Structure 1
Amino acid sequence: MMSKLLYSVSMSVDGFIAGPGGDMSWLTEHLGPNPLVDELIGDIGALLVGNRTFRGDDPHKDTEKEGKAFGGGWSGPQFILTHHIPADSPPGITFVGDLATAVAAAKDAAGGKYVNVLGADVARQCLEAGLLDEVLTIVVPVMLGDGVRLFDRPDGAGVRLERVSVSHVPHATNLWYRVTG
């Protein structure tokens, strides 16, 4: 089975995935049990992460879960897309300078499981390159009013999606889509 690229993200009702300046503290009170996410974690083989997301704010700040993917629920290879590759990398983390190389390495490492894309800009780049297969948006009941949008495309061209599933948990609604064009 060929690994697929999945952009999974929590989002406010008004379309923001991070607050102003990349603030993720808004999400902390909305984290809770989500059977869909719990199941998905076992289907992820690698992460493809944008540099700002990798170095950015963490909703688990100042807890034992800080700095851990899915709050410590997942571990495995991570590929960080960046223009500034550091001399040293922490174990399990590979810094990559271009999208095509990063995607190929992440898919290879995922071994047929999902490559989970984290970060709005890297997800947009994957979409632009025709590489993104699916989008899972976990909509939480809050409006931020400003911040980092789920998807921002300056030319305004839309992306067609086909609904795969919709599910609800007390603190969120899960919307899963397949990218069709």
Structure 2
Amino acid sequence: MRTLHVGSRVTDLGQSLAFYPAIGYEVVGSVPETPIGQLTRSTVDRTRPVARGPHRRHHRRRLARGRGMRMGRTPLRLYMSMSVDGYITGPDDRPGQELGRDGGRLFNWLDDRMSEGINGQVYAEASSTGAVISGRRTFELAKRWNGDHHDGVPINVLTHHIDPADKPPGSAKFYTDVNACAAEAREAAGDRPVLVHGAGAAQALLAAGQLDELELHLVPVLLGDGRRLFEPTGLGHVELELVRRLEGRNVTHMRYRVVHQDGKQP
């Protein structure tokens, strides 16, 4: 496995690329000590805002309508590290410089990935995925993960064209149909989330109404240039609901739920 040297730090390039990227309420109070991968629905719900008084019933009805028919399905969750000014790589990202110039700064928090703190818990949660959806560009920049990513779970790769002679390695499979890609990933994942990699995959899934959550790792840096998570795509207005906010060392982990209005696509 290749390594990326960032200053005096060493960040595993494969692990970095594995993470690459509505208005809600900030979580207050202490963060649960239970590893995030073991959190129950009730534990996570305690980090969400609760309406009081006469507005409580209306608040709960509004959330139910916003989630539409999406509750209960296996979530497709994007994981992405991002600078405060919205970049997920530095400028000039390419083979040999996969994270762009200075883009490795976005992944320094992974130095804590084996710790028992918040950063380690978030990493463990992402690693417990049941399937992966990746964009083709991310897949190629990551050297196709040698056909294995997260202990052999299926890797569904969205691409514009499939060459019959190009057989992806290991558990990877190419898809041109976004909905089929999402459906098969959900089925394979079972009761575990599907981890989404790459800006292109995220945009395609969001446009198809398939992306359910965004886990953004906000790093306190301004890169000034590079690749953005969401370039102008014509998607229009999409509401997000902040459902979790965790403060790690040198990073803030924020989870947003995509509000699918009455089951319609965004």
Shorter-normalised TM range: 0.7 to 0.9
Report 1:68-87 matches (<5 A): 74-75=150-151, 76-86=153-163, 87=166
Distance 1:93 1:135, change over 3 A: same
1:137 aligned to 2:216?
yes
* Residues 32, 171 of structure 1: 8 Å contact kept: no
Find the aligned partners of 2:229 and 2:238 in 1 and give their Cα distance: 13
Q: Secondary structure at the match of 1:162?
A: strand
Equivalent-residue separation in structure 2 for 1:68 and 1:174 (angstroms):
28
Residue number in structure 1 paired with 2:108: 29
Structure 1 distance, partners of 2:211, 2:92, is: 26
Offset at residue 152 of structure 1 (A): 2.0
**Identity across matched positions, percent:** 37
* Corresponding residue for residue 168 of structure 1: 247
Q: Which region of structure 1 is more displaced relative to structure 2, 121-130 or 150-159?
A: 150-159
Shift of 1:40: 3.4
Residue equivalent to 1:51: 136
- Considering fraction of residues, name the structure with more strand: 1
Question: For the residues of structure 1 that align with 2:87 and 2:155, how far apart are their CA atoms?
Answer: 24
SS of corresponding position for 1:163: strand
Deviation at 1:113, TM superposition (A): 1.4
Structure 1 residue 134: Cα displacement? 0.7
Residue 28 to residue 2, structure 1, CA distance change in 2 (3 Å) = closer
Q: Name 2:48's counterpart in structure 1.
A: none
* Structure 1 spans left out of the alignment, 5+ residues: 59-65
Total equivalences in the alignment? 171
- Residues 153 and 90 of structure 1: CA distance in aligned 2, closer, same or farther (over 3 Å): same
Change over 3 Å in CA distance of 1:28–1:89 after alignment to 2:
same
Sort the Cα spacing of 1:96 and 1:156 in 2 relative to 1 into closer, same or farther, 3 A: closer
- Taking structure 2 as the reference length, what is the TM-score of the superposition? 0.58
Match of 2:46 in 1: none
Counterpart Cα distance in 2 of 1:155 and 1:91? 35
- Whole-Å separation in 2 of the counterparts to 1:104 and 1:123: 15
| Pair 1:140–1:68, CA change in 2 (3 A) | farther
Largest Rg, 1 or 2 = 2
State how far apart, in whole Å, the 2-side matches of 1:38 and 1:162 are. Answer: 23
Deviation at 1:154, TM superposition (A): 3.8
Q: Please state if 1:9 is matched with 2:101.
A: no
Aligned mate of 1:40, from 122, 126, 144? 126
Q: Which piece of structure 1 moves more, 113-122 or 77-86?
A: 77-86
Determine if contact 2:91/2:226 at 8 Å carries over to the other structure.
Answer: yes
Contact 1:132–1:179 (Cα < 8 Å) also in 2: yes
Paired AA for residue 120 in structure 1: A
Higher relative contact order structure (alpha carbons within 8 Å, sequence separation ≥ 6) = 1
For residue 123 of structure 2, give the secondary structure of its aligned residue in structure 1: helix
CA contact (8 A) 2:207 2:235 kept: no
CA shift at 1:136, angstroms?
A: 0.4
Q: Secondary structure at the match of 2:111?
A: coil
* Normalised TM-score (structure 1): 0.83
